[in-house]
Structure 1
Amino acid sequence: MDEERIRTELRQRLAALEEEDVASAGARAVVELDQSSTGRLSRMDAMQHQAMAQAQQRRRAGERLRLKAALARLEEGEYGYCTDCGEEIAAGRLAADPAIARCADCTRGV
């Protein structure tokens, strides 16, 4: 396992999430009530876009936690081992998602 490559990939993913947060800050802002320039339907549409942007931000926050936890496991020498049972996680699973924390059996509840 190339720990430095994995560490770099995890950090790049974290940086991309930060960029997305900055880029979507305006979309998450409070929708102001201004009946003179925005009709009721336009405001409802803006509120729906705001709610979607907020949901995406929450998803990014969860992904950020997963990535930071994977980096911590790398530092502790626990990376690549299931956080539930301690067995080694299959290389294919780690290749598909370097932040994965559980083996296939524990994920399925076996």
Structure 2
Amino acid sequence: MEKIAKMNESQIAQFKALLLAKLEELDQDDALGQDGQKIVELDQQAVGRLSRMDALQNQAMAKATGARRSAQRQRVLMALERINEDEFGYCEDCGEDIALGRLELDPTAPKCVSCASG
């Protein structure tokens, strides 16, 4: 496939830099979120059962946030792979161009609007 006529090498480089920055941000967020995902210890000095329930809820929220970051990381990595294979900007279903505006909003978008909407 040849490159999208609407997108030049400079624009592709900008998308790549944006994706790499997002990947770095996700790595930093993961490092900060590791403490919240640790096993909740029973603290006899704490107020009681409600404190433990609060700690368990915080742990569950930290794990859910970690799962969302992991899914986002996978989308970023797939977009970077499409850039490396000169397939960035093409719909993975129909092969048509993905609108530049759509990629500017979400550079990880793998499908055109028509295919994404079903």
TM-score greater than 0.5 by the shorter chain: yes
Q: Which residue of 2 aligns with 1:6?
A: 15
Q: What is the CA-CA distance between 1:30 and the residue it aligns to? A: 0.5
Superposition pairs of residues 72-83 of structure 1, within 5 angstroms: 72-83=81-92
Q: Whole-Å Cα distance in 2 between the matches of residues 88 and 4 of structure 1? A: 18
SS in structure 2 of the partner of residue 27 of structure 1 = helix
**TM-score normalised by length of structure 2:** 0.89
Q: Which amino acid aligns with 2:22?
A: R
Query: Superposed, which structure 2 residues align to 1:1-110 within 5 Å?
Result: 1=7, 2-34=11-43, 36-38=44-46, 39-109=48-118
Distance 1:37 1:44 in 2: 15
State percent identity of aligned pairs. 45
The answer to which structure, 1 or 2, has the higher relative contact order (CA under 8 A, 6+ apart) is: 2
Alpha-carbon shift at residue 78 of structure 1 (Å): 0.3
Give 1:85 shift. Answer: 0.8
TM-aligned CA deviation for residue 50 of structure 1: 0.4
After superposition, the C-alpha distances for 1:59-84 in whole angstroms (9 at most, x for unaligned) are 00000000000000001010000011
Cα offsets for 1:13-33 (capped at 9, x unmatched):
000000000001111111011
- The ranges of structure 1 where at least 4 consecutive aligned residues each deviate by more than 2 angstroms after the TM superposition are none
CA RMSD of aligned residues (A): 0.7
SS at 2:35 equivalent? coil
Paired residues, number: 108
Q: TM-score under structure 1 normalisation?
A: 0.95
Aligned-residue offset at 1:4: 1.1
